[in-house]
Structure 1
Amino acid sequence: MLLAVHEGTVAARIERRGERLTLRYEPTWRERGPFPLSLSLPLAAATHEGAAVHAYLANLLPDNAQVLESWGKRFHVSARSPFRLLTHVGQDCAGAFAFLPPDALDAHREQPGDVHWIDEAEVADRLRALRTDIGRWRRDDDEGQFSLAGAQAKIALFGRNGRWGVPSGRTPTTHILKPPIPGFEGHVENEHFCLELAHALGLRTARSEVRRFGDEVAIVIERFDRADSSKLPEAATTTRGAVLRLHQEDLCQALGVPPERKYQNDGGPSVAQITELLRARSSDAASDVERFRDALLFHWLIAGTDAHAKNYSLLHAAEGRLRLAPLYDVASALPYPDLDAQRLKLAMKMGNTYRLRDIGRAALTRMASEMKLDPGATLARAQELADSLPTAARTLREQLVASGVDTPLLRAMENELSARAARCAKLIA
């Protein structure tokens, strides 16, 4: 059995019989719980079985077979069993729930949590270890384990006042650290540049920075599913100074889609399906649909080819409130000459095509209609973003260089993104 635990309270029990999974919400959670584990596992039903439960759990894990195989060997369980893997790494996942075996519940409740502080040399060692074992997200002697979705190698740490530590018990991680991706030079700077560029253009994004730890470099991303209680209104919490877990789920989870179908071309969610979900469930549907549209336009402008459904999330709050989460995992394919620009495709269709070179006025007009948005307003927004991007990119590069982040890739990104924005502006003029 696996328990889904929220701030020490058991919300649901998950059982495995053979290959079949059953999730049962606790009666008290159904009556008074602020939110379900997922929109695909609503509180209206006491019990959920089969594919939806499996998809929800699988999407909590890395979508990287090497990492899963590494964890399977380390914990002596099947790499293809999300249930068994989460028994070992479910203590700190995306969202507000911990996933624990029953015999770990008392310790979880009784131990408020602690942080083992480490110096920057040890942070560097942990980042370096990922090069030899992509699944080495934690050391064997670490008390706490964690799981995060995504294909990239990463570690997660607790950060406060410039210090870094490994949390345990009920204390969650607050930051994600991702080292460079082999074969994609400057990807750390690429992702940070794109996130900051989106922010400069008015999109809500996860906040990030490029940090050096000894001879290692990483993008450090502040988790938006965590909140410092001291910064919340007094009425929001009675635990001042603690880090709170906010509940989130990615759009594959919300739609009951397994991670192997995250791309639309593999049977995953489309723009129309996601828009329909936002219109039906968001607490501010009009705003969130426009934010989703802006994200799609931004990915089109920067050639962000990996914006699949797992790279969009929803944030849950009390009383069923739900909003589209900030953008994350954003990067451009343009700086890499080995990628044929004429063949680049997006993760979701815009209009009737995936291929970047085929997306222009007609495709954006069709996309707007599918989203039930005014096509003229969508084209105007695309034009505004395209016109604003070159100046924003130049200003951002200058700011990064002034802060000590200076690589040849930044100049290449400014040039490539500005040139593409100009081409896109002509296509929709």
Structure 2
Amino acid sequence: MAHELAVWLFAEQVGSLSLNDGRLSFAYHPNWLANPDAVALSGSLPLQAAPFDDIRTRPFFAGLLPEGHLRRLIAQRFQVSGQNDFALLDAIGGECAGAVTLLPKDAVPQVAGAGEVSWLDDQRLSAILDELPRRPMLAGQDGLRLSLAGAQDKLPVVFDGQRIGLPLGGQPSTHILKPPIHALENTVLNEGFCLALAQAMKLPSAEARIHQAGDRRFLLVARYDRQRDAQGNPVRLHQEDLCQALGVVPEMKYQNEGGPDLKACFDLLRRVTRPSAPQVLRLLDYVVFNALVGNHDAHAKNFSLLFASPSSRAAPTLAPLYDVLSTAIYPSLTPKMAMKLGSKYKFSEVRLRHWEQFAEAAGLARAQTRKRILGMAQALPKAARTLQATPMFAREPLIEQIATLIEQRAGLTIRRLTEEGDDSA
């Protein structure tokens, strides 16, 4: 027995996702292929008349779904198998990352501005913060079909500058609400500081603000895959993370599990962006920044490509930096980075030759790479201390830990990149 969902990109049906005998397939709609302005849904799903089999289909569509325990809880809520990507997308695939919407095959998405928003007071917001660990994405609540990738609790919401609300009836969300991560100290403050620091360093990055409901703190992150139309309504921009673009399933996102390495990420940017040089240098800055702030969870799903509308043939760009957390300050988390620098997973072991190995594999000039790394290592500690002195972050012990770690890592990097005759293994 076959099951089918219509796959929409912006306001156009681009194809169909099918489940047949437990296996997924995706096929582009003939009308979409006949459109001279047609664009591919993903770099891993190029425009073609023939359907894609399960191996080709699953990386992109599974990549739209939450992961780990969040996925299991949502599956339990809908009484479906945790391995059933199709059933989960059927249940929560209405508001995904980018401009993708999955609907029953005869349904039509609502136009921008036609949806509704259920505005939340502090009491309801506090209750939702309590509910999210048990009910990710508020799965099963009437009118909500929300999905975001990742293993951390989060919720797509609408924010108008004062009020926070839930998007109903196809209304695009504008922000992502991120509550604290259980069992880790003050992750809201940690990520808020790291993203603010990226902005202070003039890196394109998601805008994040720390908010409070009662005595509960949470992070509100503006979605870079949303913009306003001429009437001021939020509209979707298409995006895909680098695992999706490379055809890698979410459970293999880490390099040590067979996932993408930095070379694959840089090679992808050179293939799909035009001009590629600015995008390549931007990714280099992201890699160095993540290393110096101690974000060991910077895997390929935490970098994305951002696209314009289907009417534009413009090449994608590297999306703003997001999901930046100084994981290195938590002793319970692994000291291994998600992707190697040279031949090393541990930052403490990265020396000059490993940065040079990284540069060579990424197709970067050694001298230019060294200069750019040194520039950030020299500027970042001062920027961190300046940001630490602002009212939001002053007198916070956790921020002192992060600032100290940055000073240590930057100092170590400067010494190792300027010392002579580095011949360590």
Q: Please classify the TM superposition score into its range, dividing by the shorter chain length.
A: over 0.9
Aligned to 2:121: 119
1:35/1:316 contact within 8 Å kept: no
Aligned to 2:293: 302
Aligned to 1:69: 72
Aligned to 2:407: 418
1:35/1:320 contact within 8 Å kept: no
CA distance in 2, matches of 1:139, 1:350: 38
Residue 370 of structure 2 aligns to which amino acid in structure 1? Answer: L
Pairs within 5 Å for 1:183-194: 183-194=183-194
Q: In structure 1, list runs of 5 or more residues that go unmatched.
A: 231-239
Aligned to 1:334: 328
For residues 290-334 of structure 1, give each alpha carbon's deviation from its aligned partner in whole angstroms, at most 9, with x where no partner exists: 111111111221221000010010012221521111111111123
CA distance in 2, matches of 1:40, 1:301: 32
Q: Output the TM-score relative to the length of structure 2.
A: 0.92
Moved more, 87-96 or 109-118: 109-118
1:175/1:222 contact within 8 Å kept: yes
Q: Kindly tell me: are residues 136 and 261 of structure 1, through their superposed partners in 2, closer, same or farther at Cα, counting changes over 3 Å?
A: closer
Partner-residue secondary structure (3-state), 1:227:
strand
Deviation at 1:187, TM superposition (A): 1.1
CA distance in 2, matches of 1:194, 1:332: 7
Q: Kindly tell me: are residues 108 and 251 of structure 1, through their superposed partners in 2, closer, same or farther at Cα, counting changes over 3 Å?
A: same
Q: Kindly tell me: are residues 46 and 418 of structure 1, through their superposed partners in 2, closer, same or farther at Cα, counting changes over 3 Å?
A: same
Residue 280 (1) aligns with residue 271 (2): yes
Aligned to 1:321: 315
Residue 22 of structure 2 aligns to which amino acid in structure 1? Answer: E
Q: 2:52 aligns with which of 48, 51, 67?
A: 48
Aligned to 2:396: 407
1:158/1:166 contact within 8 Å kept: yes
Q: Kindly tell me: are residues 293 and 110 of structure 1, through their superposed partners in 2, closer, same or farther at Cα, counting changes over 3 Å?
A: closer
Q: CA RMSD in A?
A: 1.9
Residue 195 of structure 1 aligns to which amino acid in structure 2? Answer: L
Q: Kindly tell me: are residues 367 and 426 of structure 1, through their superposed partners in 2, closer, same or farther at Cα, counting changes over 3 Å?
A: same
CA distance in 2, matches of 1:111, 1:141: 21
Pairs within 5 Å for 1:219-238: 219-230=219-230
Deviation at 1:10, TM superposition (A): 1.3
Deviation at 1:50, TM superposition (A): 1.6
Residue 371 of structure 1 aligns to which amino acid in structure 2? Answer: A
**Count of aligned pairs:** 411
2:112/2:234 contact within 8 Å kept: no
1:30/1:46 contact within 8 Å kept: no
Residue 321 of structure 2 aligns to which amino acid in structure 1? Answer: L
Q: Kindly tell me: are residues 404 and 380 of structure 1, through their superposed partners in 2, closer, same or farther at Cα, counting changes over 3 Å?
A: closer
For residues 34-62 of structure 1, give each alpha carbon's deviation from its aligned partner in whole angstroms, at most 9, with x where no partner exists: 42211100114442122121111111011
Q: In structure 2, list runs of 5 or more residues that go unmatched.
A: 419-425
Partner-residue secondary structure (3-state), 1:43:
coil
Q: 1:344 aligns with which of 327, 335, 340?
A: 335
1:116/1:167 contact within 8 Å kept: yes
CA distance in 1, matches of 2:274, 2:152: 32
Q: 1:265 aligns with which of 246, 256, 264?
A: 256
CA distance in 2, matches of 1:192, 1:111: 30
1:350/1:359 contact within 8 Å kept: yes
Partner-residue secondary structure (3-state), 2:402:
helix
CA distance in 2, matches of 1:143, 1:213: 24
State the percentage of identical aligned residues.
Answer: 37
Deviation at 1:8, TM superposition (A): 3.6
Q: Kindly tell me: are residues 197 and 412 of structure 1, through their superposed partners in 2, closer, same or farther at Cα, counting changes over 3 Å?
A: same
Partner-residue secondary structure (3-state), 2:148:
coil
Residue 88 of structure 1 aligns to which amino acid in structure 2? Answer: A
CA distance in 2, matches of 1:205, 1:215: 28
Q: Output the TM-score relative to the length of structure 1.
A: 0.91
CA distance in 2, matches of 1:335, 1:107: 44
Q: Kindly tell me: are residues 302 and 260 of structure 1, through their superposed partners in 2, closer, same or farther at Cα, counting changes over 3 Å?
A: same
For residues 10-38 of structure 1, give each alpha carbon's deviation from its aligned partner in whole angstroms, at most 9, with x where no partner exists: 11111111122221111222233542211
Aligned to 1:234: none
